[in-house]
Amino acid sequence: MAQATNPGKTLADMPADAVAHCTEFMDLRDVASLAVTCKSLRAAAYSDYVWLRLFKERWPTLPLSVGASDIRGKYINRLTAIQQMTFSDPSFRYIFAYPTQHASHLIIDKSSLYAAKGPEVGVYRLDAMQSRVGVQRLTSHGSRITSMRLIPITDTWLSRSVTSKENMLVTSSTDRTIRLWWKGKSQRCFKGHNGPVTAIADKLVGGLGDAKLLASGGEDCTVRVWSVGSGHKNHAVATYHGHEKPLSFLAVAWHKPSLLISISKDSKIRAWDANASGSSPCVGMTSLSGIPVGIKCHDTVCYIATRSSVTAVDLRTMQKAFTLPINCTVVCSFEILPSKWMMCTGGDDRALLWDIRKSSQDSTPVAELDSNGSVTLLHMDPYKVVTAGPFDHSVNIWDAGSCKLFNSLDCRIPGEDILADGVYAMSVDGCRIVTTACCSEFGILYYRDFSDCRKPVSLVDSETGSKFWETED
């Protein structure tokens, strides 16, 4: 009779302190993954030994008291505070971008900042801002840039020679072209639209197999898709006809990556399947009333904001799930935060927060976020809501949960009076934010980084602004 074999010990059988020592080469995401595997490994992943290392690696200059406990809690509280920008001492820089003219589009991407004005893009290295070497101009477009997007380099033809996790910049222009930029050069130029390109999809469309497609819309009333997997095809792989007015917005469905949603200036909505085998790729359509302001997809639903309402469309049936009328103000901007079931509309003198789950029965906003002018710029993430506009020199930071005002960032250049212009463009990336500065003479950008702050703002109460990272007596 064969003897039973000894299966040996697994990682879960090891003492918690031994497992904790094994995590020294893990980053935060690895530790979080370890914690959800089983109860014994969760105990090791939550130990103070592990989180003290993570804390020191992220904030090496912030002292912790000797023998401090619940380091994980302190780490999470600190991370939450900097993400919510609840400090008065961020590191900041003024970036002299474009004389006499404001940037129209801004994107923060890791250590790079992209700022578009007119036909060109300025690329600024955020880790080398004191040197002119950190500035680069992308000037291949012949006229005004209409939109900017980032796409993963791994989804393009360069993935065969580049293994980095960096992004490629995509720009569209009124010169009828779309350009893909990498390493400061225009790598591809897509031509085919018969008028200005007015929209680029929020992400790549899934084509047949592993193919990735870039979608664009134009004043020629067409939607065109382009292959980014091939380094040689500069013509559209497909052109979708059906709209009668110029395109305003494009978005890719979450539940089906091959499904592209387009909306034109007359608020006619069409759904296109890039993998459709029939004679027409249009698989659904509907229409709204009013001028479109924004479009966001989540799961099987597409949310479309117009100047007077927000409508949810079920993309499986193209039927309207609900329409939320907004009668108290004209909608200027629109964002959603699906993880908290919230959406936000920017209006003439305030932003309104709405509970998506209640929107079909209740047209009362969850909260009103005051502003000194039109809220044309919005950002939402699990930590905060950020509001700004061209008639207010302050950017306001609100708690995404309680809707309390956390911080108000003055974007005026020192010496400018209250009559200076407001904020025309904004980009938020975690604990970093860049805006156009409120200045009467130069197109200056105002960059702030809250990652190493220590002084909570006075707007934050003592509990929220707890100074847990300071040395205790």
Domain ranges, residue 49: 12-82
Q: Where are the beta strands (DSSP E) in 208-300?
A: 212-218, 223-227, 238-240, 247-252, 259-264, 268-273, 282-287, 292-298
Res. 46 pLDDT band, cuts 50 70 90: confident
- Locus of tokens 């904790």: 20
Q: Work out the angle between the directed axes of helices 48-58 and 71-83 (0-180°, nearest 10).
A: 30
In a domain, 297, yes or no: no
Mean pLDDT of 301-307: 97
Res. 443 pLDDT band, cuts 50 70 90: confident
In a domain, 304, yes or no: no
Q: Are 55 and 75 in contact (CB under 8 A)?
A: yes
pLDDT at 11: 61
Mean pLDDT of 286-311: 96
The answer, yes or no, to whether residue 461 has pLDDT greater than 70, is no
Mean pLDDT of 412-440: 84
Where does a domain end: 64, 82, 100?
A: 82
Q: Are 175 and 142 in contact (CB under 8 A)?
A: yes
The mean-pLDDT minimum among 107-121, 189-203, 275-289, 447-461 falls in: 447-461
Res. 41 pLDDT band, cuts 50 70 90: confident
pLDDT at 66: 60
In a domain, 427, yes or no: yes
What percentage of the chain exceeds 70 in pLDDT?
87
Show Cβ contacts of residue 324 under 8 Å, excluding neighbours closer than 6 positions: 309, 310, 311, 354, 359, 360, 363
Same domain? 333 vs 358? yes
The answer, yes or no, to whether residue 420 has pLDDT greater than 80, is no
The mean-pLDDT minimum among 60-74, 126-140, 396-410, 426-440 falls in: 126-140
Torsion angle of C-alpha atoms 163, 199, 333, 86, degrees rounded to 10: 20
Distance of alpha carbon 375 from alpha carbon 377, whole angstroms: 6
Res. 7 pLDDT band, cuts 50 70 90: low
What tens digit of pLDDT does each residue of 204-238 get?
999 777 789 999 999 999 999 999 987 667 889 99
Find how far residue 89's CA is from the centre of its chain.
24
**Among residues 169, 71, 77, 172, which one has the least CA distance to residue 119?**
172
What amino acid is encoded at 60 in this protein?
P
Of residues 245 and 401, more confidently modeled = 245
In a domain, 309, yes or no: no
Indicate which CATH number applies to the domain containing 25: 1.20.1280
Same domain? 146 vs 265? yes
Same domain? 104 vs 165? no
What tens digit of pLDDT does each residue of 245-296 get?
999 999 999 999 999 999 999 999 999 999 987 678 999 999 999 999 999 9
What tens digit of pLDDT does each residue of 17-32 get?
677 677 777 888 888 8
Q: What angle do CA 456, 457, 459 make, to 5 degrees?
A: 130
Distance of alpha carbon 217 from alpha carbon 346, whole angstroms: 25
**Among residues 120, 122, 124, which one has the least CA distance to residue 142?**
120
Of residues 458 and 66, more confidently modeled = 458
What tens digit of pLDDT does each residue of 85-100 get?
999 999 999 888 776 6
Mean pLDDT of 74-81: 94
Same domain? 147 vs 123? no
Name the token pair of 162: 């580049």
Edge-first strand listing for the sheet containing 135-138: 105-109, 112-117, 120-125, 135-138
Same domain? 394 vs 448? yes
Indicate which CATH number applies to the domain containing 200: 2.130.10.10
Name the token pair of 120: 């060109």
C-alpha dist (Å) from residue 136 to 115, 119, 376: 11, 14, 28
The answer, yes or no, to whether residue 63 has pLDDT greater than 90, is no
The answer, yes or no, to whether residue 417 has pLDDT greater than 70, is no
Show Cβ contacts of residue 172 under 8 Å, excluding neighbours closer than 6 positions: 145, 146, 147, 178, 197, 198, 199, 200, 216
Same domain? 332 vs 409? yes
Torsions phi, psi for 352 (to 5 deg): -115, 130
Count of helices and strands (H, E) across the chain = 5, 33
Q: Are 78 and 51 in contact (CB under 8 A)?
A: no
Same domain? 174 vs 280? yes
Mean pLDDT of 433-458: 87
Query: H or E stretch including 72?
Result: helix 71-83
Res. 448 pLDDT band, cuts 50 70 90: very high
Show Cβ contacts of residue 260 under 8 Å, excluding neighbours closer than 6 positions: 201, 205, 215, 223, 225, 250, 251, 252, 253, 271, 272, 273, 274
Distance of alpha carbon 218 from alpha carbon 173, whole angstroms: 10
pLDDT at 320: 95
Same domain? 210 vs 260? yes
Average pLDDT, the chain: 87
What amino acid is encoded at 355 in this protein?
D
Same domain? 336 vs 381? yes
pLDDT at 377: 97
Res. 363 pLDDT band, cuts 50 70 90: confident
Distance of alpha carbon 472 from alpha carbon 464, whole angstroms: 18
pLDDT at 39: 80
Same domain? 100 vs 74? no
In a domain, 296, yes or no: no
The answer, yes or no, to whether residue 107 has pLDDT greater than 90, is yes
Same domain? 35 vs 99? no
Distance of alpha carbon 11 from alpha carbon 392, whole angstroms: 56
Same domain? 336 vs 257? no
Number of domains in the chain: 3
The answer, yes or no, to whether residue 6 has pLDDT greater than 90, is no
Res. 416 pLDDT band, cuts 50 70 90: low
Distance of alpha carbon 399 from alpha carbon 406, whole angstroms: 6
pLDDT at 383: 95
The answer, yes or no, to whether residue 242 has pLDDT greater than 90, is yes
pLDDT at 231: 66
pLDDT at 28: 86
The answer, yes or no, to whether residue 466 has pLDDT greater than 60, is no
Distance of alpha carbon 309 from alpha carbon 297, whole angstroms: 16
What tens digit of pLDDT does each residue of 145-168 get?
999 999 999 999 988 777 678 899
The mean-pLDDT minimum among 193-202, 257-266, 325-334 falls in: 325-334
Mean pLDDT of 438-461: 81
In a domain, 355, yes or no: yes
In a domain, 306, yes or no: no
Burial class from Cβ neighbours inside 10 Å (0-12, 13-18, 19+) for residue 185 reads: exposed
